[in-house]
Amino acid sequence: MKHKTIIEPFKIKSIEPISLSTEAEREAYLKEAHYNTFLLNSEHVIIDFLTDSGTSAMSAEQWAGIMKGDESYAGSRSWFAMKKVVEDLTGMEYILPTHQGRAAERIIYGYLGGKGKTFISNTHFDTTRANIEFSGAEAIDIPIAESSNFSSNYPFKGNIDTEKLKEVINTREAENIGAVIITVTNNSGGGQPVSLKNTKEVSELCKHHNILLVLDCCRVAENAYFIKHREPGFEHKTYEQIAREMFSLADGAVMSSKKDALVNMGGFLALRDKKIADACSNLLIITEGFATYGGLSGRDMEALAIGLKEVFEPHYLEYRIKSTSYLGEKLHEMGVPVVMPIGGHAVYVDAKKLYPQIPVHQYPGQALACELYLKGGIRTVEIGSVMFGKYDKTGKLIPAPMELVRLAIPRRVYTQSHIEYVIETFEEILKTKSSVYGYKIIEEAAFLRHFTAKFEQLLN
């Protein structure tokens, strides 16, 4: 018989208790955290959907690998294990280990960036944009028009707008472009996938103008799932073959391995060009660690080598993508405005639509993140004007194009009943939505302000 229910394709060997709390307790915790979910203690969280990054449960194989980790400073066996898996997947010659994605970003974009340079992406992730801007360069997002239509079911809303790409190349001139970056899946754009057709078109344009193409590949296996099931011509390819084909079109790759390599810490930079790789290697040694560990322990590299293979296992990927869409589809059916189609690693709720009474300068997304914590102990993150808002010269907020809240689902961590609990919490969110007010920022940092900003609740 063919079962309808997609079960978690694993058994639980080791557990981590969740401490339950009351709404009154959470009210006090939230106040102490200045209404910023990043400032909550994880002990006070029931379901942690803050991020899918570094929060995966490792397999028994990976834990066994941890014990075998070779902690030698140079030429560690674990480094060679990691290097081989990354080389096989990316097909790139130069592999630099880093402790996480943003370390790789700082190195490569610090080297390619600087004043006068422009970087172009479907959507730069916040750390990507911050590293580019920190170098003095500019970051431009050009996702296709469908990406901002939350109700469109277009299958590849993560694609780059190639017409706009041509325009930006013409106006900025190719030699001033640091790189084009394809983020798969497009995290800040709703976790939407990028097609291989689009990647090919972008790659051809980049080659024609001699511009470097970098793949931000932290969710490349999830993106491969969508290609296999949505893009004609890939039905019979394996997920790994699809991912390899995508890498073959790029000149470099940056990976936060805390996502699709199923580890708690790790990352890498992969390159084809020796000159760039040598320069980056120097920066790596100065700031991260020697070229055969780059800030990682041997055990981290061992677990990464195993995780980056496990993630392509078909039953795992099917469970992963279908369990995320189960939550999203249920919320959609209940009338919660969610970004459609449901992305790979997260469900994105349109807070602007949910709370039409809250103007963007009072951060509707922050209000929803606070409500989810209060009502259910569910921790999420705002992806809107708190994260991406800027100020004009007069100090007025230039809002982000969207006000979303992300429910990012850790890999292999939560079960179906946890998800049912989240759905139940949303029933309450819907019932009480008209009595929710916005927030005001009372303290903030110059870069990545969402991590540390303090808020005050507005009461009318």
CB of 295 to ligand F0G, least distance (A): 11
Is 37 or 100 the residue whose CB approaches ligand F0G more closely? 100
Contacts 24+ apart (CB under 8 A), 238-242: 238/312, 238/314, 239/312, 239/314, 239/317, 240/89, 240/312, 242/196
Contact present, 309 and 293 (Cβ < 8 Å): no
CB of 189 to ligand F0G, least distance (A): 10
CB of 255 to ligand F0G, least distance (A): 8
CB of 150 to ligand F0G, least distance (A): 19
Interacting span for ligand F0G (CB under 6 A) from 37-45, 70-78, 98-106, 270-278: 98-106
Q: Which of 125, 312, 355, 373 binds ligand F0G (CB under 6 A)?
A: 125
- Ranked by CB distance to ligand F0G, the top (closest) residue is 101
- Our finding on whether 268 is near ligand F0G (CB under 6 A) is no
Q: Give the interface size with ligand F0G as a residue count (CB under 6 A).
A: 16
Q: Which residues on adjacent β-strands are paired with residue 48? A: 379
List the one residue out of 86, 110, 113 whose CA is nearest residue 97.
86
CB of 76 to ligand F0G, least distance (A): 21
Is 300 or 438 the residue whose CB approaches ligand F0G more closely? 300
- Our finding on whether 100 is near ligand F0G (CB under 6 A) is yes
Going by the DSSP 8-state scheme, the letter that residue 143 receives in this structure is: B
- Our finding on whether 122 is near ligand F0G (CB under 6 A) is no
Angstrom distance (rounded) from CA 439 to CA 27: 15
Q: Which residues on adjacent β-strands are paired with residue 160? A: 143
Is 160 or 358 the residue whose CB approaches ligand F0G more closely? 160
Angstrom distance (rounded) from CA 188 to CA 387: 10
Residues 6+ apart with CB under 8 A from 76: 70, 292, 293, 298, 301
Is 117 or 345 the residue whose CB approaches ligand F0G more closely? 345
CB of 40 to ligand F0G, least distance (A): 15
CB of 130 to ligand F0G, least distance (A): 10
Interacting span for ligand F0G (CB under 6 A) from 66-74, 122-130, 356-364, 410-418: 122-130
Interacting span for ligand F0G (CB under 6 A) from 97-105, 162-170, 302-310, 356-364: 97-105
* Contact map string, positions 212 to 251, toward ligand F0G, x by CB under 6 A: ----x-x---------------------------------
Q: Which of 51, 76, 131, 362 binds ligand F0G (CB under 6 A)?
A: 51
- Our finding on whether 258 is near ligand F0G (CB under 6 A) is yes
Going by the DSSP 8-state scheme, the letter that residue 395 receives in this structure is: S
- Our finding on whether 102 is near ligand F0G (CB under 6 A) is yes
CB of 380 to ligand F0G, least distance (A): 11
- Our finding on whether 379 is near ligand F0G (CB under 6 A) is no
305 CB-contact burial (10 Å; exposed 0-12 / middle 13-18 / buried 19+) = buried
CA 340 to chain centre: 17
Contact present, 90 and 270 (Cβ < 8 Å): yes
Pick out residues in 291-330 that bind ligand F0G (CB under 6 A).
Answer: none
- Our finding on whether 53 is near ligand F0G (CB under 6 A) is yes
Provide the 3-class DSSP secondary structure of residue 287: helix
Tokens of 440: 């005001």
- Our finding on whether 183 is near ligand F0G (CB under 6 A) is yes
Residues 6+ apart with CB under 8 A from 275: none
Angstrom distance (rounded) from CA 397 to CA 386: 10
Tokens of 207: 């080659």
Work out whether strand 397-398 and strand 47-48 pair parallel, antiparallel, or are unpaired: unpaired
Q: Which residues on adjacent β-strands are paired with residue 119? A: 139, 179
- Which residues contact ligand F0G (rule: CB under 6 A)? 51, 53, 100-102, 125, 127-128, 183, 187, 216, 218, 256, 258, 267, 408
